[in-house]
């Protein structure tokens, strides 16, 4: 069983990694490809980035500086493990900073973080701050966008990571923008996409803020309990969610949370 998550725009560059995991840090598997993208990005000034990414002047300046500072190899002085650098709703749910060593090592083997710049990251892969969403129409040597740039490389990396798994199920917890980078037909695994619904005025629907946090919570649940089979995820019960068989099928598992009476 293997999980995939989207990255986050917001980054935690200040908090120290709480565990001594240096021996387990790694270079991203596709970092040579990342270097090609960075070469393209380094040629763009802040105004170019602002137009390309539809971001503010300040963000464009910040990310221009990040691009210029990006270098290989990544080490603990110039980079930070992905699970600790990404911030935002999903990563609030994941709560990496609260994990003990064994839980983080489980996470490192069972989670891939999809990335516009890095393709796919392991939680303990060292990465440097960046902003490059997968949907960005960045012209490059391989095509007009990042989907064309990555081709089947992300899928191949996931297949390699899952090669020795007894339970070849990929749990898709990524957004549509990012999961489009995975070539489903070339993936050597069954795909299950959890759906998180909250009750609102008697009806169940996906509420983005809660659903994002729930994605991280589900990975946390698997890591805390060292799950080995996808079926075990049906017992997921964090934050009041429960598996709803009537609203699920083989490809989409629905988890609901009832509205609490005030």
- Residue 5 pairs with which residues in a beta bridge? 113, 173
H-type alpha helices, 87-135: 89-94, 101-110
30: Cβ–Cβ under 8 A, 6 or more apart, which residues?
118, 119, 120, 153, 154, 157
pLDDT tens digits, 4-36: 999 999 999 999 999 999 999 999 999 999 999
pLDDT digits 0-9 by tens, 73-96: 999 999 999 999 999 999 999 999
Which residues, including other chains, have CB under 8 Å from residue 218's CB and lie 6 or more apart?
Answer: 3, 93, 171, 173, 194, 233, 236, 238, 255
Tell whether pTM > 0.85: yes
**Tokens standing for residue 125:** 């892969």
Per-residue confidence band for 166, with pLDDT thresholds at 50, 70 and 90: confident
> Residue 261 has what pLDDT?
64
Q: What is the CA radius of gyration of the chain?
A: 19
Phi, psi of 58 (to 5 degrees): -65, -45
Q: Domain residue spans in the chain?
A: 2-257
The mean pLDDT of 44-71, rounded to a whole number, is 97
């Amino acid at each position: 069983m293997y999980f995939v998550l989207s990255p986050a725009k917001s980054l935690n560059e200040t908090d120290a990694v709480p565990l001594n995991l240096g021996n387990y840090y790694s270079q991203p598997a596709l970092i040579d490809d990342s270097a090609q993208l960075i070469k393209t990005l380094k040629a763009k000034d802040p105004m170019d980035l602002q137009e390309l990414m539809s971001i503010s002047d300040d963000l464009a300046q910040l990310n221009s500086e990040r691009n210029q500072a990006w270098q290989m190899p990544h080490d603990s002085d110039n980079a930070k493990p992905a699970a600790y650098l990404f911030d935002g709703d999903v990563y609030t749910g994941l709560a990496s900073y609260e994990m003990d060593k064994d839980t983080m090592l489980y996470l490192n083997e069972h989670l891939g973080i999809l990335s516009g710049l890095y393709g796919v990251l392991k939680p303990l892969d060292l990465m440097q701050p960046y902003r490059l969403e997968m949907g960005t129409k960045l012209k490059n040597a391989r095509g007009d966008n990042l989907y064309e740039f990555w081709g089947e490389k992300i899928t191949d990396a996931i297949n390699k990571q899952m090669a020795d798994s007894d339970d070849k199920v990929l749990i898709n917890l990524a957004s549509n923008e990012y999961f489009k980078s995975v070539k489903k037909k070339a993936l050597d695994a069954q795909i299950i996409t959890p759906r998180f619904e909250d009750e609102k005025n008697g009806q169940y629907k996906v509420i983005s803020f809660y659903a994002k946090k729930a994605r991280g919570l589900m990975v946390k649940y698997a890591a805390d309990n060292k799950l080995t089979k996808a079926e075990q995820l049906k017992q997921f019960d964090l934050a009041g969610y429960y598996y709803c068989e009537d609203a699920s099928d083989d490809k989409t598992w629905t988890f609901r949370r009832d509205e609490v009476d005030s």
